């Protein structure tokens, strides 16, 4: 049976050949995409599809017998379910009439799977929101600490300004103390001139 024959076999159950072709294409596409992504596709009573990684190995060419190195690769694998195996081996008989050979999924399993995925997505969103809410106060605290640091900064600058002003005042006082000493020396200078006048007066009296 090829794909066209498969479509013809299920066309009556799906209401037409086009609907059957679309259904087959959709099922096969979903199986292939999930298997390529590394997911395991399991159909109850039928089997499972999965991706298997094969490591690099050495093999022999059947024609020449030469040893050849085979690279690492990934291959799809299908494992038949127990119900499928039992039908093929003959331990169980195929149902007659319009009954389905593959076991139907239990009630609530299909909707349960969808709701489980929805619940997981919702749980991820809630955890992300909680994490963001926990991180938000930390940002506020850092902003508050920055404001506090900005308020403390002027105090440091005023202290530095006070120290600089104190140094300036001490320097001014020191210069003020040194200035009178220079004036005293200036006052002593005229005394030397008077001594010089006295010596000239003495010389004049001796000459007379």
- The domain spans of the chain are 3-104
Mean per-residue pLDDT of the chain: 73
Q: H or E element: which one contains 69?
A: strand 67-70
pLDDT computed for residue 22 by the predictor = 95
Structure tokens at 201: 């007066």
CATH topology of domain 3-104: HU Protein; Chain A (4.10.520)
State pTM to two decimals.
Answer: 0.49
Q: Are strands 67-70 and 41-43 parallel, antiparallel or unpaired?
A: unpaired
Find out whether 44 and 105 touch, Cβ atoms under 8 Å. yes
Average pLDDT over residues 143-160: 56
Structure tokens at 12: 């009556």
Query: Which neighbouring-strand residues pair with 207?
Result: none
> Which contacts (CB < 8 Å, 24+ apart) does range 145-149 have?
none
Highest mean pLDDT of the ranges 56-60, 93-97, 140-144, 162-166:
56-60
Of 16, 13, 81, 17, nearest in space to 46 by CA? 81
pLDDT computed for residue 95 by the predictor = 83
pLDDT band at 139 (very low <50, low <70, confident <90, very high): very low
pLDDT band at 133 (very low <50, low <70, confident <90, very high): low
Query: Rounded CA gap, 197 and 44, in Å?
Result: 137
Highest mean pLDDT of the ranges 6-10, 103-107, 142-146, 159-163:
6-10
Average pLDDT over residues 1-23: 93
């Amino acid at each position: 049976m090829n794909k066209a024959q498969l479509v013809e076999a299920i066309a009556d159950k799906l209401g037409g050949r086009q609907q059957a072709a679309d259904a087959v294409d959709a099922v096969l596409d979903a199986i292939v995409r999930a298997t390529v992504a590394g997911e395991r596709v399991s159909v109850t009573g039928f089997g499972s599809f999965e991706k298997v990684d094969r490591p690099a190995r050495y093999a022999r060419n059947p024609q020449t017998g030469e040893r050849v190195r085979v690279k690492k690769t990934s291959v799809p694998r299908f494992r038949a379910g127990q119900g499928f195996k039992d039908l093929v081996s003959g331990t169980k008989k195929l149902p007659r009439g319009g009954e389905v050979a593959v076991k139907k999924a239990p009630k609530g399993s299909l909707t349960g799977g969808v709701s489980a995925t929805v619940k997981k997505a919702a749980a991820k969103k809630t955890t992300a929101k909680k994490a963001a809410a926990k991180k938000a106060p930390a940002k506020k605290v850092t902003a508050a600490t920055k404001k506090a640091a900005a308020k403390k900064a002027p105090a440091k600058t005023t202290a530095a300004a006070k120290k600089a002003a104190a140094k300036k005042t001490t320097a001014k006082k020191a210069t003020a103390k040194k200035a009178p000493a220079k004036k005293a020396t200036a006052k002593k200078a005229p005394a030397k001139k008077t001594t010089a006048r006295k010596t000239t007066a003495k010389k004049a009296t001796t000459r007379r």
